[in-house]
Amino acid sequence: MSNLGNLPPNILSKLSRDSNVIIESSKDFGKVVLEKFPDGVYFPTSVNDIIDLIKFSYDLSVPFHIAARGHGHSIRGQAMAQNGLIVEMNSLNNNNENCGIRIYSDSNLGFYADVGGEQLWIDVLNATIERDLAPVSWTDYLYLTVGGTLSNAGISGQTFRYGPQINNVLEMDVITGKGELVTCSKDMNSELFFAVLGGLGQFGIIIRARIVLQKAPKRVKWVRMLYDDFSKFTKDQEHLISIDGLDYVEGSLMLEQSSINNWRSSFFSPSNQTKIASLLSQNEIMYCLEMVKYYDDHTSNTIDEELKKLVKGLNYLPGFIFNKDTTFVEFLDRVRSGELELQSKGLWDVPHPWLNLFVPKSNIMDFNVAVFKDIILKQKKTTGSILVYPTCRKRYSHNLFRCTKYFAFAFKGFV
Ligand SMILES: Cc1cc2nc3c(=O)[nH]c(=O)nc-3n(C[C@H](O)[C@H](O)[C@H](O)COP(=O)(O)OP(=O)(O)OC[C@H]3O[C@@H](n4cnc5c(N)ncnc54)[C@H](O)[C@@H]3O)c2cc1C
């Protein structure tokens, strides 16, 4: 315990060294990194509690390791703190004095929400939708904290249009490594602002983020189209993100051995599943383009016509286009039902060795041959989701885009 120094009573009173608590806070979704145990877990009830802790550590001759833990859905121990302390951010949530979720409108800024770093995105959605508002950029899964995704990027099918979540933050309150609470934005303490966004939790603890909101749509038209040719699939994806018409574009691989409806969302009806399975038995690998158009009461009469225009000229396999009409909230929270089903079968709490990559547009065809066909298809082992979709580099603030030079694809496996 010596590396923690002589902790004062105000810090000790919020600290647990119970081995069960330590084990619980040292778990993450990946279950790949298993033994990076901290010396204790800190449960702050106010922002000042976190300031006190960081200041105390900073003043030691050798500061100890401190990691904020959001919802622990990292995959490689990112929220762990071996021999240091984990700060459980959700314990802030019980205190009304902290930021919570507050919605404002301003003649300059438009609509925005001030959101505590500990808040889950599902709660941000539920709070904003009550006012017919919503953030513009999402992740596929919403049971992640605002601080957790803003420390990464927050990428999903809306990224081509609005940029990742880190592009849609106007301002933050951050506790720095010295224990100072600093407000930052692109114009104020901008170095800190751009370091913390996508900064993997290494530049400070996000206490409050000011998130851009827009008027929320009521419903969505959700379309999936199947391809047997990767070149046609990517050309159509690129075309769809280049036109100003859609709200979400993603895509995924379909393999003979994986289930057609998976944990990410149950989409295809039983009869369509049979039809797709028969196609897959001939092709072994297929590509599924997924797109969404939001609509409202005042566009409900024209949405079908608009969709027809959007898919006209696309090169999917004739007869293999499928539609679903659902609410905006159900669409955004689409992964939850799959999660609950896997949880009920004890299949959620298992290791998740995931890989997320940006691949330059210039190499995506080679990637299909070398990785999708020569490894994944040949091994016939992968049964999880493999996503592949384009994002537009111009949608990333130049201060935030550290990944690739031009156009990128994200590939995500779930084994
Ligand atoms: C089922 C599932 C689906 C996912 N889908 C997507 C997706 O579509 N798009 C996408 O971009 N990502 C996705 N992710 C990845 C996810 O966005 C990241 O793993 C995210 O970091 C998890 O958030 P968390 O609250 O669980 O963070 P944690 O795992 O608790 O923490 C992650 C990192 O953030 C730091 N951190 C946490 N809170 C704060 C804070 N307040 N201030 C500063 N640093 C902090 C931690 O120290 C750590 O380094 C998915 C993850 C899962 C499990």
Sequence-ordered list of residues with C-beta below 8 angstroms from that of 61, at least 6 positions apart, any chain = none
* Ligand 1 environment, Cβ below 6 A: 28-29, 67-74, 78-79, 89, 117, 139-141, 144-145, 147-149, 151-156, 200-201, 205-206
Name the residue with higher pLDDT: 184 or 97. Answer: 184
Question: What is the CA(81)–ligand 1 centre distance, in A?
Answer: 16
Residues forming a β-bridge with 327: 219
pLDDT at 124 exceeding the cut of 50: yes
Nearest CA owner, ligand 1 atom 39: 147
Structure tokens that stand for 357 in this block: 């990559």
Q: Is 49 a catalytic residue?
A: no
Q: Tokens 């799959």 belong to which residue?
A: 338
When pLDDT is cut at 50, 70 and 90, the band that residue 406 belongs to is very low
Tokens of 31: 């279950």
> Which three-class secondary structure string do you get for 205-243?
EEEEEEEEEEECCCEEEEEEEEECCHHHHHHHHHHHHHC
**238 classed as catalytic:** no
Task: Report the alpha-carbon angle 37-91-190, nearest 5.
Answer: 85
Asked if pLDDT for residue 53 goes beyond 60, the answer is yes
How remote is the CA of residue 116 from the centroid of ligand 1, in Å? 15
Which pLDDT does position 400 carry in this prediction?
60
Point out the ligand 1 atom lying closest to the alpha carbon of residue 200.
Answer: 49
Across the chain, mean pLDDT equals: 91
Q: Are 120 and 154 in contact (CB under 8 A)?
A: no
Residue 399: pLDDT band by 50, 70, 90 thresholds?
A: low
Looking at residue 405, what is its pLDDT?
30
Q: Which of 140, 238, 284, 296 is catalytic?
A: 140
Q: Which atom of ligand 1 is nearest to the CA of 154?
A: 11
Query: CA of 77: how far to CAs of 2, 30, 66, in Å?
Result: 23, 8, 13
Structure tokens, 57: 């550590």
Lowest mean pLDDT, pick from 81-85, 90-94, 157-161: 90-94
Average pLDDT over residues 257-266: 74
Reported as a single tens digit per residue, the pLDDT across 153-181 is 999 999 999 999 999 999 999 999 999 99
Look at residue 411 in the predicted model and tell me its pLDDT.
Answer: 44
Taking a C-beta distance cutoff of 8 angstroms, is the pair 369, 45 a contact? no
**Tokens for 392?**
């537009």
Mean pLDDT of 236-247: 94
88 Cβ partners below 8 Å, 6+ apart? 25, 41, 42, 43, 44, 69
What distances in angstroms separate CA 156 from CA 97, 165, 286, 324, one per listed residue? 32, 9, 21, 19
pLDDT at residue 403, as a whole number:
39
What distance in angstroms lies between residue 79's CA and the mean position of ligand 1's atoms?
9
Specify the range with the lowest mean pLDDT, choosing from 193-207, 208-222, 259-273, 354-368: 259-273
From the CA of 73, how far away is ligand 1's center (Å)? 6
Instruction: Respond yes or no: is residue 250 known to be catalytic.
Output: yes
Six-digit token pair at 324?
């679903």
Condensed to tens digits (0 to 9), the pLDDT of residues 288-317 reads 999 999 999 999 999 999 999 999 999 999
Domains annotated for the chain, with CATH where assigned, are 2-93 (3.30.43.10), 99-215 (3.30.465.10), 219-413 (3.40.462.10)
Q: Per residue, what are the HEC states of 351-363? A: CCCCCEEEEEHHH
